[in-house]
Structure 1
């Protein structure tokens, strides 16, 4: 990870409580820590929703990767042809 240290810049907190960090940070999630009454630390972060956290577990990630590898090696086929064959067999056997 590259660490860049820049010179301090002065920002104004607007009437609605917002501060602009620049377009390069638009739509990014950040952690804001108030370390002191007058000191804030702002860091970019990746937030994982609670219902997706299980995917970060090593075994779950390995299982998912195995399933994706299987799906890639075994592409889906056209099931319509198989269903038509099954209908034909049912017609012959049961007389439907």
Structure 2
């Protein structure tokens, strides 16, 4: 496919890539390799550690099978008060 680089230095890859992040590598002058990519910010990389990801997955599964309830709030508050004493 032939694309024209616009006056602003941009090319369009097509709507199917709209909003996607891409890596553009200049392999030599005038030769570029464009690849779709998923970029993980440094401060979120810990979430993708296998141990952390598994723990998070287990916690989410537990939360889905144990819906939140106010039934035991009284005993929880009493226990917290007793621990502070």
Structure 2 partner of 1:29: 21
Cα distance in 2 for partners of 1:82, 1:20 equals: 57
CA distance, structure 2, for counterparts of residue 73 and residue 57 of structure 1: 24
Q: Normalising to structure 2: TM-score of the pair?
A: 0.79
* CA deviation after TM superposition for structure 1 residue 76, in Å: 0.1
Q: What TM-score results when the alignment is normalised by the length of structure 1?
A: 0.70
CA distance in 2, matches of 1:65, 1:27: 27
- Aligned residue number for residue 90 of structure 1: none
In 2, the alpha carbon distance for the partners of 1:27 and 1:73 equals 35
Secondary structure class of the residue paired with 1:30: strand
Higher strand share: 2
The equivalent residue for 2:36 is 44
Aligned twin of 1:11: 3
Q: Which protein has greater RCO, CA pairs closer than 8 Å, 6+ apart?
A: 2
2:80 alignment partner in structure 1:
none
Runs of at least 4 residues off by over 3 Å: none
Q: Deviations over 1:7-40 (max 9, x none)?
A: xx11111111100111111111000000000100
Structure 1 residue ranges without an equivalent (≥5): 1-8, 87-96
Determine which structure has more spread, i.e. the larger CA radius of gyration.
Answer: 1
